[in-house]
């Protein structure tokens, strides 16, 4: 099979390659998909590593990629499916026994390998009042040079959130964006749902700064977004009754917990948060740090303490969401080249209240004891 892969790569005949049945030492890795791409540095093999909660893409020159495939087929993957313009080949390995099956095909074309081609955006640029008002696009409707990263972030977030919201049952769901700021995501998500997906929604942005609320309501009016409005106030003071989805992007420290709390109390079908700083738990971990701990070699360094505090904070948030009947996933939603705060927690209500309750409570208590944590702010909100 390796010879067939190499030849298909050289001839431009490679359509796709998928390796499955992984049994190596990489936790949560499910499969690997490989394709040929053409980038500035030349032709490469692009590997997409598919994990349970995230995908990681790495590009390799041909010798590096073939070496990885050789190791993978020899000892890490039990199956592989190769598709080319002229034939399909299936690989199966059972111990030392290998089975190959080849089937000829006709009329199949190889996909484009141009990795630098223009990407299809869910939110298109153009003559949109909100994009101009937010200084994403200029007078000509083109994305400004200094706003390219922001435009990519907006599209990536819409790509993630839109399917989750579209899966919410019922008509005209109520979506609340907590700590909306200037409403970059709020406007773009409403635009996509209302004008592209044709999914009627009622959307509210909650923001403490009155001048931003006034600005955003004016932009919404000029954009003709009748189902979108912004309200002034704090997250905790906001009445989230009837909210079907609660979103909070980069709400500082415990404001993320305020948003999660409001979502849980409202019985929202969907809660998605991208946390910002994690001061509340970090302070307790620093105060309760035990130099005899097995993690002392890490936590005595400030930068590792900060990263650990972030993971512990979000891990406890996920457990508390699960305790209240939500299925949770935590993953990186955008490259850290654009923002270092790139972790997203997605919680979907699935009615598991009561299931595994004692096990979850025990894990929360065990985690707090291990890291010297007295309490998690969200825990106190939910107990009040």
Asked, for residue 109, whether it belongs to a domain, the answer is no
Whether residue 51 is found in the same domain as residue 194: no
User: Does residue 113 register a pLDDT over 80?
Assistant: no
Mean pLDDT of the chain: 88
Whether residue 322 is found in the same domain as residue 378: yes
Q: Please state the rounded mean pLDDT for residues 339-353.
A: 75
Whether residue 239 is found in the same domain as residue 370: yes
Whether residue 263 is found in the same domain as residue 223: yes
Cβ neighbors of 22 (< 8 A, separation 6 or more) are 29, 30, 31, 32, 76, 77, 78
- Check if the beta carbon of residue 123 is closer than 8 Å to that of residue 192: yes
Whether residue 231 is found in the same domain as residue 358: yes
Q: Please state the rounded mean pLDDT for residues 181-196.
A: 93
- Residue-level pLDDT at 341: 55
Residue from 200, 201, 346, 332 nearest 269 by CA: 346
**Which CATH number belongs to the domain containing residue 351 in this structure?**
3.40.50.150
What percent of the chain has a predicted confidence (pLDDT) above 70?
92
Whether residue 301 is found in the same domain as residue 238: yes
Asked, for residue 335, whether it belongs to a domain, the answer is yes
Whether residue 75 is found in the same domain as residue 134: no
- Check if the beta carbon of residue 112 is closer than 8 Å to that of residue 33: no
- Residues facing 326 on adjacent strands: 349
- Residue-level pLDDT at 334: 54
Q: Can you tell me the distance from the alpha carbon of 246 to that of 91, in angstroms, rounded to the nearest whole number?
A: 46
Q: Can you tell me the distance from the alpha carbon of 247 to that of 176, in angstroms, rounded to the nearest whole number?
A: 6
- Residue-level pLDDT at 223: 95
Q: Please state the rounded mean pLDDT for residues 152-166.
A: 89
Could you tell me how many residues make up the chain?
384
- Residues facing 221 on adjacent strands: none
State pLDDT tens for residues 247-264. Answer: 998 878 789 999 999 999
Residue ending a domain, among 66, 87, 104, is: 104
Whether residue 74 is found in the same domain as residue 164: no
User: Does residue 100 register a pLDDT over 50?
Assistant: yes
Q: Which domain holds residue 52?
A: 2-104
Whether residue 174 is found in the same domain as residue 222: yes
For residue 32, the surrounding DSSP H or E stretch is strand 29-39
Q: Can you tell me the distance from the alpha carbon of 243 to that of 271, in angstroms, rounded to the nearest whole number?
A: 10
Asked, for residue 359, whether it belongs to a domain, the answer is yes
Q: Can you tell me the distance from the alpha carbon of 225 to that of 219, in angstroms, rounded to the nearest whole number?
A: 9
Asked, for residue 115, whether it belongs to a domain, the answer is no
User: Does residue 336 register a pLDDT over 60?
Assistant: no
Cβ neighbors of 324 (< 8 A, separation 6 or more) are 264, 353, 382
User: Does residue 115 register a pLDDT over 60?
Assistant: no
**301 pLDDT band (50/70/90 cuts)?**
confident
Distances (CA, A) of 50 to 18, 227, 331: 11, 37, 12
Q: Can you tell me the distance from the alpha carbon of 313 to that of 280, in angstroms, rounded to the nearest whole number?
A: 9
Q: Number of structural domains, the chain?
A: 2
User: Does residue 117 register a pLDDT over 70?
Assistant: no
For residue 101, the surrounding DSSP H or E stretch is strand 97-104
Q: How many C-beta atoms surround the C-beta of residue 312 within 10 A? A: 21
Q: Which of 74-88, 102-116, 242-256 has the lowest mean pLDDT?
A: 102-116
State pLDDT tens for residues 50-74. Answer: 887 677 888 999 999 999 999 999 9
What percent of the chain has a predicted confidence (pLDDT) above 90?
58
Residue ending a domain, among 104, 120, 154, is: 104
Which tokens hold the place of 53?
């909660």
Q: Is 70 helix (H, G, I), strand (E, B) or coil?
A: helix
Whether residue 210 is found in the same domain as residue 282: yes
* DSSP code string of 27-82: TTEEEEEEEEEEETTEEEEEEEEEESS-EEEEEE-HHHHHHHHHHIIIIIEEEEEE
Residue from 276, 379, 372 nearest 319 by CA: 379
* Residue 377 backbone phi and psi in degrees, to 5: -55, -40
Asked, for residue 51, whether it belongs to a domain, the answer is yes
Whether residue 39 is found in the same domain as residue 97: yes
CA 168 distance to own-chain centroid: 18
Q: Can you tell me the distance from the alpha carbon of 321 to that of 330, in angstroms, rounded to the nearest whole number?
A: 12
Asked, for residue 119, whether it belongs to a domain, the answer is no
State pLDDT tens for residues 15-40. Answer: 999 999 999 888 889 999 999 998 77
Whether residue 17 is found in the same domain as residue 98: yes
Highest mean predicted confidence (pLDDT) among 137-141, 269-273, 339-343: 269-273
250-256, Cβ contacts within 8 angstroms, sequence gap of 24 or more: 250/179, 250/274, 250/275, 250/276, 250/341, 251/178, 251/179, 251/275, 251/276, 252/276, 252/277, 253/277, 253/278, 253/279, 253/280, 254/280, 254/377, 254/378, 255/178, 255/179, 256/317
């Amino acid at each position: 099979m390796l010879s067939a892969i190499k030849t298909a790569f050289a001839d431009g005949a490679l359509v796709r390659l998928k390796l499955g049945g992984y049994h190596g030492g990489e936790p949560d890795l499910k499969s690997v998909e490989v394709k040929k791409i053409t980038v500035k540095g030349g032709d490469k093999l692009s590997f997409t590593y598919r994990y349970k909660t995230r995908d990681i893409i790495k590009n390799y020159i041909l010798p590096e990629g073939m070496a990885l495939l050789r190791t993978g087929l020899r000892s890490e993957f039990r199956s592989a499916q190769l598709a080319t313009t002229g034939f399909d080949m299936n690989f199966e390995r059972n111990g030392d026994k290998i089975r190959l099956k080849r089937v000829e095909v006709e009329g199949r074309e190889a996909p484009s390998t141009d990795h630098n081609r223009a990407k299809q955006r869910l939110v298109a640029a153009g003559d949109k009042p909100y994009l101009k008002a937010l200084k994403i696009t200029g007078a000509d409707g083109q994305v400004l040079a200094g706003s390219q990263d922001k435009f990519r972030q907006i599209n990536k977030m819409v790509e993630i959130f839109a399917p989750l919201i579209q899966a919410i049952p019922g008509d005209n769901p109520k979506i609340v964006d907590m700590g909306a700021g200037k409403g970059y995501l709020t406007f773009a998500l409403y635009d996509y749902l209302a004008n592209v997906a044709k999914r009627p929604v009622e959307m509210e942005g909650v923001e403490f700064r009155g001048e931003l609320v006034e600005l955003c309501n004016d932009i919404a009016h000029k954009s003709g977004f009748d189902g979108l409005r912004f309200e002034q106030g704090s997250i905790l003071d906001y009445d989230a009754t009837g909210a079907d989805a609660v979103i909070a992007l980069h709400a500082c420290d415990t404001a993320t917990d305020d948003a999660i709390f409001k979502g849980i109390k409202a019985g929202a079908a969907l809660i998605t948060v991208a946390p910002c700083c994690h001061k509340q738990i970090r302070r307790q971990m620093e105060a309760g740090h035990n130099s005899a701990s097995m993690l002392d070699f890490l936590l005595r360094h400030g930068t590792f303490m900060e990263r650990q505090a972030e993971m512990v904070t979000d891990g406890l948030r996920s457990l508390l969401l699960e305790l209240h009947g939500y299925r949770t996933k935590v993953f990186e939603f955008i490259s850290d080249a654009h923002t270092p705060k790139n972790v997203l927690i997605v919680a979907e209500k699935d009615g598991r209240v009561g299931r595994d309750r004692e096990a979850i409570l025990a894990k929360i208590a065990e985690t707090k004891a291990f890291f010297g944590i007295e309490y998690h702010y969200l825990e106190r909100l939910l107990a009040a």
